[in-house]
Amino acid sequence: MKKLRVSKAQYYLNIAKEVAKRSTCLRRHYGAVIVNNDQIVSTGYAGAPRKTSNCAEIGTCIRIQLGARRGEHYEWCRAVHAEQNAIIHASRFDMLGSTLYLVGTSPTTGAVIKGAEPCKICKRMIINAGVAAVVTQTEPGKFRTDSVEEWTRSNMGDFKRVRGKLIPVMPRGY
């Protein structure tokens, strides 16, 4: 019986999931892989800036202690996000038209986080880096592809058009 070959998207998502194992975040482990022309350009995982203490070493997370909800109070976080680290370690020229693969897992169970996606800050960086698409693992064996161009067309959901005018949309949690 012929064994089915893993898809390219799942191959890169599997690598991102492995990269996530280096994460030092206590809330979520994220891994990112930037690929252009079937070549890995860069990888990144969530962790504190170089030569600073990370939450795994400290043994606590201020966002957990203060009850920060998902998507809120990133300024309290010590970590540089996986997407940010992957972007920092690549040249913009190498990222133009690329695809970023992103996987989030639970630090306690290793299970894939359903609905994982880049935060607003990471989306801005992804847009400016020249990345064309973001592929996220939605659950084992399944993934979603988002067009970065669609993020820009929709103003990242920050504004909606009402009678031809852009009206700010209040962020969740406020």
Show which residues are catalytic. Answer: 83
Q: What is the CA radius of gyration of the chain?
A: 17
The closest of 104, 95, 103, 155 to 126, measured between CA atoms, is 95
Strands 165-168 and 99-105: unpaired
Quote the DSSP letter at residue 90. Answer: S
Q: Is the dihedral of CA 26, 28, 29, 34 positive or negative?
A: negative
